[in-house]
Amino acid sequence: MDLGLSGKRFVVTGGTRGIGRAVVEGLLAEGAAVAFCARSQDAVAQAQAELAAEGATAVGAAVDVGDSAALTKWVGDASDALGGLDGVVANVSALAIPESGDNWRTSFDVDLMGTVGLVDAALPHLLAAGGGSIVTISSVSGREIDFAAGPYGTMKAAIIHYTQGLAFKLADRGVRANTVSPGNTYFPGGVWSSIEENDPKLFAHALGLNPTGRMATPEEVANAVVFLSSSAASFITGTNLVVDGALTRGVQF
């Protein structure tokens, strides 16, 4: 299947590791050009060097998505560098799970408003290109109550609602908006790798909940993001695509 992504231009937040990095690589593999960001300048520089070594058009920048002015400037700079924008992927999460005042505020600023800020900044560029795609990354924790209920789960649920609202409002303007909700996703240096090392009981419990007997890889989640970002998904908008290996039990009507 030709996804029709060759020559398309994307911005991806949180693109140096895990799901975000896999999304960047997946888009590049389909011939797209990608601007990505993360908070750490060192991580950005390393990722850009690795991607450039493969001959891809990838432009990295250090950006805190909780800083709305910096986020807006980055999107504008990215559009200038790529010659416009055809799609955005809002991937960053603060992963602020324990319930505290600070974590509620951080989750709101980073997870929710980082997504809203990215879309607000990118939308004029998408419309100027004649339309495009928005993909937001939520979580199964936004769909059902689990150990991450609280700041993380609440903001992830809000992202789904926000995205489906975007889909309805922007459908007649050629902009599609969808969410991908991953289940537990394992990669070295990620949250589940840390839990495996520091809380093996929780890790074993989480692993045991999935009937596949394993967690997702970042690439498996990224495949869904890349598909929804493509013209192959041209009539899919307003959906929440769960990628969890049948972890969640609720029926999604």
The one-letter amino acid code at 6 reads: S
- 117 occurs within a structural domain: yes
User: Among candidates 95, 101, 99, 61, which has minimal Cα distance to 81?
Assistant: 61
Active site residue 186: no
- 248 occurs within a structural domain: no
DSSP E strands in the chain: the ranges are 9-13, 33-38, 58-62, 87-90, 132-137, 175-182, 240-243
Q: Are 71 and 63 in contact (CB under 8 A)?
A: yes
- 97 occurs within a structural domain: yes
DSSP3 helix / strand / coil % (the chain, rounded to 5): 50, 15, 35
Catalytic: which of 8, 93, 133, 156? 156
Active site residue 162: no
Longest dimension (CA), the chain: 51
The whole-number pLDDT of residue 200 equals 95
- 93 occurs within a structural domain: yes
Active site residue 139: yes
The whole-number pLDDT of residue 55 equals 82
φ, ψ of residue 134 to 5 degrees: the values are -125, 125
pLDDT band for 226, please (50, 70, 90 cuts): very high
What is the domain range of residue 113?
A: 9-187+218-243
Q: Could you tell me the CATH number of the domain that includes residue 31?
A: 3.40.50.720
- 57 occurs within a structural domain: yes
Task: Write the secondary structure of 115-152 as one string of H (helix), E (strand) and C (coil).
Answer: HHHHHHHHHHHHHHCCCEEEEEECCHHHCCCCCCCCHH
Catalytic: which of 138, 141, 229, 230? 138
- 203 occurs within a structural domain: no
Average the pLDDT over each of 44-58, 82-96, 137-151 and give the range with the smallest value. Answer: 44-58
Total domains in the fold of the chain: 1
- The per-residue pLDDT of the chain, averaged, comes to 96
Question: For residues 98 and 88, what is the distance between their CA atoms, to the nearest angstrom?
Answer: 29
User: Among candidates 60, 54, 61, 57, which has minimal Cα distance to 8?
Assistant: 57
Active site residue 152: yes
Could you give the percent of the chain with pLDDT greater than 90?
Answer: 94
Other CB atoms within a 10 A radius of the CB of residue 104 amount to: 16
The whole-number pLDDT of residue 77 equals 98
- 132 occurs within a structural domain: yes
Question: For residues 106 and 70, what is the distance between their CA atoms, to the nearest angstrom?
Answer: 17
- 205 occurs within a structural domain: no
Q: How far apart are the first and last CA of the chain?
A: 28
Give 55-102 pLDDT, tens digit per residue. 888 999 999 999 999 999 999 999 999 999 999 999 999 999 999 999
The whole-number pLDDT of residue 13 equals 98
Catalytic: which of 79, 93, 133, 139? 139
pLDDT at residue 250 is higher than 80: yes
Question: For residues 91 and 14, what is the distance between their CA atoms, to the nearest angstrom?
Answer: 6
Catalytic: which of 152, 181, 186, 229? 152
User: Among candidates 122, 176, 182, which has minimal Cα distance to 152?
Assistant: 182
